[in-house]
Structure 1
Amino acid sequence: MTQTIDHVALLPLYLAAGTALLVFIADLVVPNRTVSLVAGAAGSVATAAGALLIENRSSFCSAQGCSYVFDQRAQVFAVLFAALTAVVYLLSARVEAEPGEYAFLLACSMAGGVTLGAARDLITLLVALETLTLPLYALVALRRGRKSAEGAVTFFVVSVIATAVTLLGAALLYATSGTVFLSGLNQPVTGQLLPLATVGGGLFLVGLAFKVAAVPLHGWAPPTYDGAPLPVALYLSTASKLGGVVALFYVAPLLRGSAPLLAILAVVTMTVGNLGALRQSKMVRLLAWSSIAQAGYVLAALVVSGPAALAYMIFFVLMEAVAFGAVLAARGSAADGGSLDAYRGLGRRSPWIAGALTLALAGLAGLPPGFAGLFAKITVVKALLGGQYSWLAVVVALNAVVALAYYARVGASLFAVAPGEPKHRVAWPVATGLALATIATVVLGFAPQLVLDAAGL
């Protein structure tokens, strides 16, 4: 069957893949940390710029449909993935890893994310999702030590199981619909094929739940985040989670009976995430459990409104980037995020870092001055109330109240009296990355309509 290929539509993908090739060659010619990271950051910015230039172009089209459609939604996703990758490159100035390998793997993951937003068939969607995920196994293991190895193995084993479940679900969906194109998944299925289609859709959704660390496939997140280098943990909690949300955004509305399953996953995920965060004594593990709870809020929005889920996810990745960026700036060249006690009195030692972390925690809790998080919570609750899911809106509100306990505990300790500790110098790329993420969060907190318009609300 003849297919038409529009190379202009593939420009963002070419730029992302070219970034990986660029950092690979740069490391061979000039094996220098700064050169590798700068090349990766520059390629990420170029990828975002290329994505902004392309709109409403399609490629790999046949009589049945197009496998790759770069529309406004795909443009938003591509810019998000590229921007997050650029910030991670900036925050990686002090990462103890081989710079060329590190930068190459990160760029390969970005290429998968950029492709994912434009995927319009099951094959392209799954290949892009795995391209986003596969380099992360190695990135988690780049930090030498037992925790890093355990985190990488846990991540890999659970991911393999989730991928197998997702592939089985995709195979059943293809068997019942007769097409791999997403547009064909919403065709009515009757008779003996209906139970098979229902099971296929359920397996597909449960497999994708791994990517957003939803219960019951959430156990990998705390040990993996804690074992990974801090910039990689940031990427896992933002870009990797965004990949799962993108896949669910495209597939869930097309599957019959997906709303009840998503509602159950949302309730269990946000509740387990918040209860798990309450008992944490280490910063990265607290943020990991918090991100599990945040995934529950995204799934709740997805029950009634894909655009609302997308808007919440945009707000979330910004606040999460600020939180991890502040932790990295506070810890300097330390191997991990440290205990919560290590942040006591941070407001006296490093007020700007403490201010950024307070802004992120307030936003994740949905309180001022984190207006981005406040509008994110309002968007979800409003969508649920308008979609006749008032009971789920009540569950979201109750979980937000529970979350206040650990967010307020950490925020208060930042400004508590503590023994004086020597200040450390924050590397300028780290300071720049944290500043950019903080500024973006503040701006979108005061101008949330920019996010709502981008999400299609």
Structure 2
Amino acid sequence: MTGSVVQSVDNVALLPAYLAAGTAVLVLLADLLVARARVTVATAALGAVATAAGAALVGAGDERRTFCVGPDCSYVFGGRAALVAVVVALLTLGVLGLSGPLLRAGRSPVGEYCFLLACSMTGGVVLGAAGDLITLIVAVETLTLPLYVLVGLRRGSLASAEAAVTFFVVSVVATTLTLLGAALLYAVTGGLHLDRIGALLAERPELRDLPLTTVAVALVVLGLAFKVAAVPFHAWAPATYDGAPLPVAAYLSTASKLGGVVALLAVVQRALPADVTGPVLAGLAVLTMTVGNLVALRQRRTVRLLAWSSVAQAGYILAPLGALALASGRADDARSAVYAAAVAYAVFFVVLELAAFAGVVALRPADADGGTVGDLRGAARRHPWRAAGLGLALVGLAGLPPGLAGLFAKVTVVRSLLGGGAGWLAVVVAVNAVIGLAYYLRLTATLWAEPVASVEPAAAGAGGDVGSPAVGSVVRARTVGAVLAVTTAVAVVIGLAPQLLLDVAAR
């Protein structure tokens, strides 16, 4: 028919998304038909492994595009999309391993828990390949929506319910802002594909100078800043992390934050003008890393300390994006290095953060909250290997050797900022990294400190979960120890070969 548009579907490009979505369906069927917790968890774990393998296989070849209208495509699966899909799938697998004590305690239904994790994984897999604003926003919400329920899924916990409501309300506001910004961008440009919007704004300066364009760009950036817990849109993170079950908090601080960073990077790199977004992101980065580090210094609860530290880490991730305005006039290699630094640092961070949460889970009683920093005092004297894994993760987050992954992450960001002409921002990152040493090393030193003679029962958690001596009745699940060992090993490996990760992130 004349004037019709013919679209072809590349099923190979969609294979990782098929595998992730199929995992969610199979988990539901396993829970319904077999009704055995081990089978349900095994189905989810095998699905996550298959998704990671499928993404790596598809991403190893040339970039694949589908759902295209002319040169504009809604789904682009290349090296970076494959990296994001693999990391999200492996994070899901790791969180499943950490969830064993929680699920065995019977506080959360196994079928619903695994199904929601698989649904969130599907959103993360699609997000890395999103080529238009609709696909991007739907993928972000598919990643985020199941987490509202996961946070509040623990039976009999007022803390989880409060955390879920807080997270839900803030996320709805963030989504509304992002959707409004996307609608205004469509009104200005008449397009939704990221590359098309970027080309139109570059070719027609009169569109970029419109007040409506400035408002649209600001709304999109600020809406996605909620997702990464950037200051001043961060207040939900500490309360939500501390109220959620520890494995869910681990997923929130890793996969969810990675998704927000990927979404923000996609619109900044391909659609929005760097001279507008650069100063905004630079300001957000400075505020985020500074406030996160300063408030983390005063924290006494373990999960809240990790939450505030993750806020500061988000500032380090945003810093390279803030240099885009200065790097926009430089060579393509300089701009590519800035983008690669943001992705690489995000991957470094999520691996170390998952290892840190795995260490906390391993050193806490089954189904307990994170407790206080004092609850971990002397843990290394009773459980040296588990404490060593947690200590290595904390040292890596601080950016010190022997945590080479964290060290190279900081170096990568600073080098990209200097190459992009943002030397002042590199100085701010270095100063904040020094501030962060105080609380990371304090928590690490606590693990090897002399234990007190008697430990009082920990104070009630944020909403009513009463803790117990952390080092007395310790979780002995093999899966938790395996997750801790694997994540610390991966951190060491990528720290030894950081350039490989940078090369993949730059694709």
TM-score (norm 1): 0.98
SS of residue in 1 equivalent to 2:191: coil
**Pairs within 5 Å for 1:206-217:** 206-217=222-233
**Partner of residue 228, structure 1:** 244
8 Å Cα contact 2:101-2:475 kept in structure 1:
no
Q: Residue 296 of structure 1 aligns with which residue?
A: 315
**Secondary structure of the corresponding residue to residue 55 of structure 2:** helix
Superimposed CA distance per residue, residues 118-146 of structure 1 (whole angstroms, 9 cap, x where no aligned partner): 10000000000100000000000012311
Match of 2:67 among 57, 60, 63: 60
Contact 2:245-2:367 at 8 Å conserved across structures? no
2: CA distance, partners of 1:358 / 1:214: 26
Q: Which amino acid in the other structure matches residue 149 of structure 1?
A: A
| Contact 2:242–2:303, Cα closer than 8 Å, also in 1 | yes
Instruction: Specify the alignment match of 1:47 in structure 2.
Output: 51
Alignment correspondent of 1:126 = 137
* Deviation sequence 1:242-273 (CA, Å, 0-9, x none): 00110111111331211000000000011111
Amino acid at match of 1:317: V
Unaligned runs of 5+ in 1: none
Query: 1:334 and 1:278 mapped to 2: Cα distance?
Result: 27
Match of 1:430 among 480, 483, 494: 480
Q: Shift of residue 64 of structure 1?
A: 4.9
Q: How far apart, CA to CA, are the structure 2 residues paired with 1:63 and 1:334? A: 53
1: CA distance between counterparts of 2:17 and 2:211? 38
Distance 1:334 1:425, change over 3 A: closer
Change (3 A) 1:348 1:423: farther
Q: Which amino acid aligns with 1:45?
A: V
Structure 2 partner of 1:141: 152
Equivalent position of 2:95 in the other structure: 88
Q: How many Å apart are 1:434 and its aligned residue?
A: 1.5
Instruction: Give RMSD over aligned pairs.
Output: 1.3
Residues 1:255 and 2:262 are matched in the alignment: no
Matched, 1:342 2:375: yes
- Which sections of structure 2, spanning at least 5 residues, go unmatched? 324-337, 454-470
Distance 2:267 2:43 in 1: 35
Q: Which residue of 1 aligns with 2:430?
A: 397
Q: Counterparts in 2 of 1:175-254, with a 5 A limit?
A: 175-186=187-198, 187-188=200-201, 189-191=204-206, 194-253=210-269, 254=271
Tell me, in whole angstroms, the C-alpha distance in 1 between the residues paired with 2:305 and 2:154: 20
Query: What's the counterpart of residue 23 of structure 1?
Result: 27
CA distance in 2, matches of 1:431, 1:401: 31
**Do the aligned residues in 2 keep the contact of 1:140 with 1:224 (CA within 8 Å)?**
yes
Question: 2: distance between equivalents of 1:66 and 1:389?
Answer: 33
Question: Could you tell me how far 1:8 is from its partner in structure 2?
Answer: 1.5
SS at match of 1:279: coil
Per-residue deviation at 1:425? Answer: 4.8
* Structure 1 residue 38, shift from structure 2 partner: 1.2
Looking at structure 1, the residues matched to 379 and 501 of structure 2 have their Cα atoms a distance apart, in angstroms, of 31
Residue identity opposite 1:197 in structure 2: T
2:37 aligns with: 33
Normalised to the residue count of structure 2, the TM-score between the two structures is 0.88
Secondary structure, aligned partner of 1:59: strand
Whichever of the two has the greater Rg, that structure is 2
* Structure-1 separation of matches of 2:245 and 2:23: 22
C-alpha deviation, 1:215, in angstroms: 1.0
What is the alpha-carbon distance in structure 2 between the residues aligned to residue 425 and residue 293 of structure 1?
A: 29
Aligned residues: 457
Q: Is the 8 A contact 2:98 2:479 kept in 1?
A: yes
Which amino acid in 2 is paired with 1:231? P
Quote the offset at 1:32 in angstroms.
Answer: 2.1
Q: Helix, strand or coil for the counterpart of 1:20?
A: helix
Q: Percent of aligned pairs with the same residue?
A: 60
C-alpha separation in 1, matches of 2:489 and 2:77: 28
1:372 alignment counterpart = 405
Report if the CA contact (8 A) 1:4-1:62 is conserved.
no
Q: What per-residue deviation string (whole Å, max 9, x for no partner) do you get for residues 276-308 of structure 1?
A: 111110000000000000000000022231111
* 3-state SS in 1 of match to 2:67: strand
CA contact 1:363–1:370 (8 Å) conserved in 2: yes
